[in-house]
Amino acid sequence: MIIDDEPLPLELLSDYVQKTPFLQLQGAYSNPLEALSIIQSESVDLIFLDIQMPEFSGLQFMQSLNHKCKVIFTSAYPDYAIQGYEFDVVDYLLKPVSFERFLKAATKALDNNYLPLHDGRSESLAVQREEKVLFVKTDYKIVKVVLSDILYIEGLKEYIAIHTSQEKVITLQTLKKMEDILPPLQFRRVHKSFIVAIDKIDSIERNRIFIKKDIIPIGDSYKESFLRLLNNKNLL
């Protein structure tokens, strides 16, 4: 469930939920009192909750919720972060919320078993978080790809090639869709045509990544965020 008195955050977070395979949107509400009444009768596992709402604030909402479900706070101001953690919220998202940051918070809820597993499916791809696999359509069959086997993913116009330690799987899919659906701390887009598995990198030399015998270029517009990720993971 998403609760925010402003239409733009409601629309943005709703779009993010639709892109996230293990989330299902119960509803998006601008009126927190309406949302609270719905929670009493329906099963809701996780709420993205705005803190600053004029008639009934997110903090007041939390007091009325009585630990019925888990909450991720959203706010344009960092001042409420400490209060958020006093309520034992899953995470605190500062607006404007990027999809990468949203996915990190949602993944935290999933990994801490606050969410049941839901399969997110499209025509050609589904992610099952329990087994950490992809199911992709290739030719006339569906192939299972284990995430831990992926070395890197290459964009081929409207197709992608998933390079694993055993094979190369080609499927009708966009690189952007793969970027949205893969765990952001394990996989990173480093070029307009490449996503790499961080733990499969053998070495980095200037603007090139070496994975086994393959060389992956690092695009100028991706370099800063990629190096920042490595630094955050204490790899630099």
Domains belonging to the chain, first-starting first, are 2-111 (3.40.50.2300), 120-232 (2.40.50.1020)
Q: Residue 193's pLDDT is what?
A: 96
Task: Flag whether the pTM goes above 0.75.
Answer: no
Q: Residue 232's pLDDT is what?
A: 63
Single-letter residue type at 219: G
Q: Residue 136's pLDDT is what?
A: 84
Q: Residue 184's pLDDT is what?
A: 78
Spatial neighbors of 160 by CB under 8 A, at least 6 apart, are 153, 154, 170, 171, 173, 174, 175, 178
Q: How many CB atoms lie within 10 A of CB 98?
A: 12
Please tell me the total number of residues recorded for the chain in this structure: 236
Q: Residue 235's pLDDT is what?
A: 53
Q: Residue 113's pLDDT is what?
A: 66
Q: Show the beta-strand stretches assigned E in the chain.
A: 2-3, 28-29, 46-50, 70-75, 91-94, 120-121, 125-128, 133-138, 141-146, 150-156, 159-164, 168-172, 187-191, 194-197, 203-205, 208-211, 214-217
Which DSSP string corresponds to 3-59?
A: E-SSHHHHHHHHHHHHH-TT-----EES-HHHHHHHHHHS---EEEEES--SSS-HH
d(C-alpha 140, C-alpha 58), whole Å: 49
Q: What is the pLDDT along the chain (236 residues), one digit of tens a residue?
A: 999 999 999 999 999 998 887 888 999 999 998 998 888 878 899 999 999 888 888 888 888 887 678 999 998 887 766 666 667 788 899 999 998 899 889 888 887 766 664 444 344 444 444 447 787 888 778 888 889 999 999 999 889 999 999 999 999 888 988 887 788 778 999 999 999 999 999 999 989 999 999 999 999 999 988 888 787 655 55
Q: Residue 143's pLDDT is what?
A: 86
Q: What are the distances in angstroms from CA 219 to CA 78, 147, 194, 236?
A: 32, 24, 9, 19
